[in-house]
Structure 1
Amino acid sequence: MRDIDAIIAQLHLTHPNMSAAQLTVLHPESDDDGLWFFRHPATDIEVQLESCSGSCPFLFERSGSPDRLTASNVEQAVAFVVAGLGFSEPAA
């Protein structure tokens, strides 16, 4: 299992309404599709994790913010996504 799969699984456990979508590219053999977008119906904010391999480290970015953070492990990536969407703790 790739780290991104573990991240998505953990996020869905604590926030079942969260959506995760991988970037769809026109040329899968040559274009980098290592970008995942996360949204929740409770907010207009979108966050993204980027890694060409789907494994840590991930570059984290949030809509409306110039900040870019690096998540070194799965737990940190989950925390960045949750906080980036404006949640202070897991919903479950």
Structure 2
Amino acid sequence: MRVHSGERPYKCVYCNKAFTASSILRTHIRQHSGEKPFKCRHCGKAFASHAAHDSHVRRTHTKDKPCTCTLCGKSFSQTYELKLHMSLHSQD
């Protein structure tokens, strides 16, 4: 099936939301079913999507902190954390 721009042929049977790809619909349906097939090997916490799992591992279990403050050099794993930190500099 070829999907044209703006077309959303994959509909959720639970809430009628529509999606452009069947894979996105499958992930969405997990919100209704409670299925969480992606398990963290570090702590056992489970997630409905691969993206949520990866984000959890990066934030919680790795030292990967790519967002660095240009003023003081402190590093953060998430952009929003850096933005919050930068607001503290502007209060000085």
Structure holding more strand per residue? 1
TM range (shorter): under 0.3
Q: What TM-score does the superposition give when structure 1 sets the normalisation length? A: 0.27
Q: What TM-score does the superposition give when structure 2 sets the normalisation length? A: 0.27
Choose between structure 1 and 2 for higher RCO, CA contacts under 8 A separated by at least 6 residues: 1
Structure holding more helix per residue? 2
